[in-house]
Amino acid sequence: MKARVTVMLKSGVLDPQGEAVRHALGSLGFLGVTGVRQGKVIELDLEETDAARAETAVKAMCEKLLANTVIESYRVELL
């Protein structure tokens, strides 16, 4: 089973990388982009075949390592 985790900064948390991308897009002529939030995507290959157990395990991975839950939120998708 595969899982995809999307990690993003929580709203209200300053995103300097997103702001740098927004500025660079404007410099390249892509006008009208008023905001960019940058995150990360993590894909996991799991041996688990039970969807509920896989989701529980991946959420535990996020809480312990993959996301800084103080400033980041995450979304788990089983593929």
31-75 pLDDT, tens per residue? 999 999 999 999 999 999 999 999 999 999 999 999 999 999 999
d(CA 46, CA 79): 11
Q: Residue 47: how many CB atoms within 10 A of its CB? A: 6
Is 4 in contact with 41 (CB distance < 8 Å)? yes
Q: Total structural domains in the chain?
A: 1
Tokens 């660079």 correspond to 24
Quote the strand ranges of the chain, DSSP E.
2-9, 39-45, 72-78
The pLDDT score that the predictor gives to residue 44 is: 98
- Can you give the pTM of this predicted structure? 0.87
**CATH value at residue 19:** 3.30.1280.10
CA end-to-end span of the chain: 7
Residue 33 is part of which domain span? 2-78
